[in-house]
Structure 1
Amino acid sequence: MRERGRTRRLMGMGARTGGALLKTRLGGEADWRALGEALFAGLSELKGPAMKLAQIMSQWDDVLPPELSEELARLQRQAEPMPWPRIRDALVLQYGDIAAHFSTIDEQPFASASMGQVHKAVTLAGETVVLKVQYPGLAEVLESDLKQVKRIMWLGRWLKISQARLESLFDELADGLRAELDYSAEAEALLRYRARYADDARLVFPEPVLELSGEHVLAMRYIGGTPLRALESADDATRQAIAQALADWITQELFTFGELHADPHAGNFAADAEGRLVVYDLGAVIPVPQARLDALLHLLDATLAKDPLAMDEAMLELGGRQGQGAPLALYREAAEYIAPLFAPGEQDFGDVRVHRQLRALSPKVWAAMDRLQPPADTLLLSRALNGHYWNLVRLKARLDMHKRTAPLLAQGRHSAC
């Protein structure tokens, strides 16, 4: 009965979303704020894959209508927590007698998200840990929810995204969600990253407590910190130090180790008392093949050269265009807006003019969707990079992106010869 209720509510939200998209396509004005409020209320309670999809969408700040993006972004920081009795049931399922392992567990969550929530606890030995608890029954409803999410995603056909492309996008999303339920894989990722960056004094990752972890709960030693969103009002030196660490870490992840942290919403990051970047969640880490990196560098190189024909060639290489390709004027305009971010010297990510220009370009991108499609096998990578970019914007980062990318571009040109 509960599963049928979830299905009905998801279908209702899908119908409401479809109505707004159809109204817009017919030339009307949709009430994006009202739609966002309705989606926030419904998804915050339902949790699961649909809420995760909405969180992903909220990070597309440069594509979604601002009112809708702002409401969906609330799902990252104000999601309604699951009542304690249901979380306690999940802990009992994992531990049996909870009192045999912990002296106290905070009933109020430390953080709540789409697939689980985090509670502080104190072990019998007096150590403070955090318990990432998977929502009860989530694995059982996952496939049912995914069917409804797929129906909602098919609304993208009204935006001229092909059905084959939507199928591929859905498959990547579904694989990512299933992977997030594997807490043993996240524990392994935490151990791998702790070893990999042990000598980088600017980064810290929680240590998993394996003897207290299992299928439904991931236990980690507690690391306190100021959330990234709260750093927006911090002093400039703190913000710049965290921004530098974040940018350097992303670059090293991609181009040294061929991986990327793919869940970049702000709640996963903080600054600790020593000024280090804390990365709390490694539930979504994706491999990035060298061929994909080469194609992205090819696109960036063409963009910085403001060469629309080379940009079109790079998009074809990425699988991101079809038919005759996008209008060359669109490539030229995009290059004009993007290139300044990679000019020599420090660039100010807090300069809102750049983001307004990119947002203003979005309608033209959507209008060319019959020729310019999101590459199906780079959805997660593109979304992750976009999310990390907006975290740098929130920090008002000042970064020399030319210094970071010039050696990579030179190496890419050499490899292509």
Structure 2
Amino acid sequence: MSDEKSFYGQAKRYAKVGTAMAGIGGRLAASRYLGRKLDNSKYAEELTQALGGLKGPVMKVAQILATIPDAIPQEYADELRQLQTNAPPMGYPFVRRRMRSELGEKWVERFKHFDRDAAHAASLGQVHRATLDDDETVACKLQYPDMASAVESDLKQLKLVFSIYKRYDNAISTQKIYEELSERLREELDYAREARAIALYDYMLRDEPAVTVPETVPDLCTKRLLTMKWLSGKPLMDFREADLETRNTLAASMFKAWYTPFYYYGVIHGDPHMGNYSVRDDLGVNLLDFGCIRVFPPSFVEGVIELYRALRDDDDDHAVYAYERWGFENLDKETLDVLNIWARFLYKPLMEDKVQKIQDQDSGRYGAEVAGKVHKELKRIGGVEPPREFVLMDRAAIGLGSVFMHLKAEINWHRTFHDLIGEFDVDKLAERQRDALARAKLDG
């Protein structure tokens, strides 16, 4: 099957995805506008099976839908969140064809052993464990067939869904969200770019012994095949019932893994899926996926820090300045007050110099209530258009917060944050960023 953006590939994909989306759209319309009672759990399971079988970025699109407040019923959201974790792998005939197309007819001779069954399957590809002639264990990440067509057709569907959503909910303009997700999804198709992102993270985290980045095997890498040395570790969520000291150690390691690159280099790991991390025997963490890496303008990082200072000092003028550095435009007092509801929720753990959990409750219910309140208020005042940079920053912050909630970590987040930002200098960050991107040969 061709991996080009063929008309046939897109049309076939569009028809399959369109059928699934049309079904959920019709049922949602009936539920909202005609007052019909639906068996949402039944339809949610059907939708999950249909989209999961299709693979590819539609799964990420579905997960995005599940995070928009009130966009779909809770039963749909719960089912759709399972897609990436439970993606069924492609069989060995696909694996053989993919490896032959990437490494040539004698590809099997490049390995001492190659597992036929996938060790892990996700939205855009699957991972196979293999052994090289020197007995080094490696992970071979294979991209599914026809993903370029899948991305383009799924983005068309996402644009359609956003346009429908906009008709009955103006709280958040989705135009820049769509632009941001489109660019990130297209980047994820390029495994050569991901290899450069790995090199970037290896450099940025070179002084962080608690974080391990995989080493690529360049002569076994292409745009659709990424081969890395295998990193052994246990799932992060296996440690939810560990002793407090262990949980706190893991939380501190995760904080460094996410925010050292951000505050020092303006780079963030934008996919909070828990399958992208594992725990070493010494409680350090392994980073396993680098397809969704976001490089931010240094001014945006400055805005994140300045918003903290504005909230700490209860300074509205400073807050406006900070939001403008984020990329928000034309903020009036009413919009500022609504945005600050969400900002105070996110920044709250950093405000007090004491040991505490990331939030008082051990579930996401309070966060959902805050998000619901913000959504309601934004809708009342006519909505807001978030800057592109906001999309992955917010997603990453919520993802990391979820990890800390699961671990029930108790840390002085205030000091951890201040130790990291130090005497922040935006010009020095810009210089470090330029140097790091040049070393990794990665575009900003």
* Alignment TM class, shorter chain as reference: 0.7 to 0.9
Cα pair distance change 1:312/1:372, threshold 3 Å: farther
Structure 2 partner of 1:90? 98
Hey, what's the Cα distance between the residues in 1 that align with 2:228 and 2:164? 40
3-state DSSP of counterpart to 2:268: strand
Alignment of 1:262 with 2:274, yes or no, is no
Length, aligned pairs only: 414
Structure 1 partner of 2:236? 228
Structure 2 partner of 1:160? 169
Gaps of 5+ in 1: none
Kept in 2: contact 1:56–1:383 (CA 8 A): no
Structure 2 partner of 1:356? 365
3-state DSSP of counterpart to 2:206: coil
Structure 2 residue identity aligned to 1:393: M
Higher mean displacement: 33-42 or 70-79:
33-42
Match of 1:122 among 128, 131, 134: 131
Structure 2 partner of 1:385? 397
Higher mean displacement: 230-239 or 205-214:
230-239
Where do 1:2-401 residues align within 5 Å? 3-19=10-26, 21-22=28-29, 26=33, 28=35, 33-58=41-66, 66-95=74-103, 96-161=105-170, 165-306=173-314, 311=319, 314-315=322-323, 318-320=326-328, 324=332, 326=334, 330=338, 334=342, 337-338=345-346, 340-342=348-350, 343-349=352-358, 351-352=360-361, 355-367=364-376, 368-369=378-379, 370-401=382-413
Hey, what's the Cα distance between the residues in 1 that align with 2:374 and 2:228? 43
Cα deviations by residue, 1:203-228 (Å, 9 ceiling, x for unpaired): 11111011111122111111111112
Hey, what's the Cα distance between the residues in 2 that align with 1:296 and 1:100? 50
Percent of residue pairs identical: 28
TM-score normalised according to structure 2 size: 0.81
Structure 2 residue identity aligned to 1:382: D
Structure 2 residue identity aligned to 1:142: V
In the TM superposition, residue 379 of structure 1 has moved relative to its aligned partner by 1.4
Hey, what's the Cα distance between the residues in 2 that align with 1:19 and 1:304? 46
Hey, what's the Cα distance between the residues in 2 that align with 1:118 and 1:393? 29
Cα pair distance change 1:123/1:265, threshold 3 Å: same
Cα pair distance change 1:371/1:413, threshold 3 Å: farther
Kept in 2: contact 1:304–1:339 (CA 8 A): no
In the TM superposition, residue 306 of structure 1 has moved relative to its aligned partner by 4.7
In the TM superposition, residue 57 of structure 1 has moved relative to its aligned partner by 4.9
In the TM superposition, residue 31 of structure 1 has moved relative to its aligned partner by 5.8
3-state DSSP of counterpart to 2:17: helix
Higher mean displacement: 137-146 or 346-355:
346-355
Hey, what's the Cα distance between the residues in 1 that align with 2:282 and 2:420? 31
Higher mean displacement: 257-266 or 46-55:
46-55
In the TM superposition, residue 103 of structure 1 has moved relative to its aligned partner by 3.1
In the TM superposition, residue 90 of structure 1 has moved relative to its aligned partner by 0.8
Kept in 1: contact 2:307–2:323 (CA 8 A): yes
Kept in 2: contact 1:348–1:399 (CA 8 A): yes
In the TM superposition, residue 412 of structure 1 has moved relative to its aligned partner by 6.7
3-state DSSP of counterpart to 1:298: helix
In the TM superposition, residue 327 of structure 1 has moved relative to its aligned partner by 6.0
Hey, what's the Cα distance between the residues in 2 that align with 1:183 and 1:167? 27
In the TM superposition, residue 74 of structure 1 has moved relative to its aligned partner by 1.0
Cα pair distance change 1:20/1:361, threshold 3 Å: farther
Kept in 2: contact 1:309–1:328 (CA 8 A): no
Hey, what's the Cα distance between the residues in 2 that align with 1:46 and 1:318? 36
Hey, what's the Cα distance between the residues in 2 that align with 1:273 and 1:51? 32
Structure 1 residue identity aligned to 2:409: A
TM-score normalised according to structure 1 size: 0.86
Cα pair distance change 1:281/1:142, threshold 3 Å: same
Kept in 1: contact 2:174–2:385 (CA 8 A): no
Cα pair distance change 1:335/1:127, threshold 3 Å: closer
Hey, what's the Cα distance between the residues in 2 that align with 1:289 and 1:407? 22
Higher mean displacement: 215-224 or 292-301:
292-301
Hey, what's the Cα distance between the residues in 2 that align with 1:377 and 1:332? 17
Cα pair distance change 1:289/1:33, threshold 3 Å: farther
Kept in 1: contact 2:48–2:83 (CA 8 A): yes
Cα deviations by residue, 1:37-77 (Å, 9 ceiling, x for unpaired): 23321221111221122244556799976544332221232
Structure 2 residue identity aligned to 1:352: Q
In the TM superposition, residue 290 of structure 1 has moved relative to its aligned partner by 1.5
Hey, what's the Cα distance between the residues in 1 that align with 2:353 and 2:74? 31
Structure 1 residue identity aligned to 2:83: L
Hey, what's the Cα distance between the residues in 2 that align with 1:340 and 1:208? 39
In the TM superposition, residue 366 of structure 1 has moved relative to its aligned partner by 2.1
Higher mean displacement: 227-236 or 59-68:
59-68
What is the RMSD computed on CA atoms of the aligned residues? 3.3
Hey, what's the Cα distance between the residues in 2 that align with 1:62 and 1:275? 38
Cα pair distance change 1:260/1:61, threshold 3 Å: farther
Kept in 2: contact 1:322–1:372 (CA 8 A): no
Cα pair distance change 1:414/1:51, threshold 3 Å: closer
Hey, what's the Cα distance between the residues in 2 that align with 1:114 and 1:7? 17
Gaps of 5+ in 2: 1-7, 428-444
Hey, what's the Cα distance between the residues in 2 that align with 1:34 and 1:309? 50
In the TM superposition, residue 119 of structure 1 has moved relative to its aligned partner by 0.7
